[in-house]
Structure 1
Amino acid sequence: MPETVELWVRRYVEFFTRLQEPDLERLDTLFTPDARFKDPFNDVMGVEQIAAVFHHMFQQCPAPRFHVHGWAIQGNTVFLHWRFLDREDDAAGRWRLDVDGVSRVLFNEEGKVFSHIDYWDPAEHLYEQLPLVGSLLRFIRRRIAI
């Protein structure tokens, strides 16, 4: 069974590391019809709603890239360690968004995902980029750090 799950994971990872907006039409080949997708901003059910989350991502992020560093498999549960990048901002090569996270992905017996939950810190990666909120969060981090 683990060899089969390994193939499912490789297919899933390849899809997201090469993801372009037209590929969203094929999400039904990866997800069950009632699949759940959750991240710090979304908690949706169903392939159409999952597609809507990623369509929104493409609207907000002109050049999104997913890099998967590795994974761990336990039964039909997979933990993916990934990095999400969105376009270089300046001549120094800094990325507009650079998010490090982990996903817990659950596969059914046919190799389709029925649950994908992302874990990452939105304060570190997004909120701190907002002028007032970011200043406040950086101040709080400095105050509570050792």
Structure 2
Amino acid sequence: MANPERPSPLLEIITADYQNFPHNQTYSIYAEDVFFKDPMTEFRGLAQYQKMIQFMTTWFKDSQLDLQGIEQEGDRIKTQWILSWTTPLPWQPRITISGHTEMILNQEDKVISHIDVWDCSPWSVLQQHFVI
């Protein structure tokens, strides 16, 4: 487990990326063939990961990714978070998803697997768009 007084450089980078999300992400911490999965999508490759973040930058307004916790044990990092954004619909719904991320590192400390687990269903996220 990381020293609670002084996080590892990788944990510091991830923490900063959450604070800046979705802008100025540190893609260099990801392996070229990184595997990504969440309840809506699954793919492999850093280029696809960058496209997904660009999509979020373009279509999700006022995105905020609040880090609730982060810990590392060996080659695994787990974060707890709350993601929120405003969808650019005429009534501007504010969407919120809580969940956690499980990352696995290779021997070079690059993220080779990034799996997001939501505390709600994709259906409940869709429903948030229609609560006025």
- TM-score (structure 1 length as normaliser): 0.71
Q: Distance in 1 between matches of 2:48 and 2:67?
A: 23
Alignment of structure 1 residues 68-107 onto 2, 5 Å:
68-87=67-86, 96-107=94-105
The Cα offsets for residues 63-121 of structure 1, whole Å up to 9 and x where unpaired, read as 111111112322111110001111499xxxxx701111100011222221111000002
Unaligned runs of 5+ in 2: none
Give aligned pairs, total.
Answer: 125
Name the stretch that deviates more: 116-125 or 44-53.
116-125
Residue 10 of structure 2 corresponds to 8
What is the SS of the residue equivalent to 1:126? Answer: helix
Q: Look up the equivalent residue of 1:106 and give its one-letter code.
A: I
What is the SS of the residue equivalent to 1:13? Answer: helix
Identity value in percent: 19
Alignment of structure 1 residues 28-43 onto 2, 5 Å:
29-43=28-42
Q: Distance in 2 between matches of 1:66 and 1:130?
A: 18
1:108 to 81, 106, 109: 106
- TM-score (structure 2 length as normaliser): 0.78
What is the SS of the residue equivalent to 2:78? Answer: strand
Distance 1:124 1:82, change over 3 A: farther
Q: Look up the equivalent residue of 1:7 and give its one-letter code.
A: P
Q: Look up the equivalent residue of 1:76 and give its one-letter code.
A: D
Q: Distance in 2 between matches of 1:37 and 1:56?
A: 15
The Cα offsets for residues 12-64 of structure 1, whole Å up to 9 and x where unpaired, read as 2212321344x25x51x110000011111111111100011111112221111
Residue 56 of structure 1 corresponds to 55
- Which is richer in helix? 1
Name the stretch that deviates more: 99-108 or 117-126.
117-126
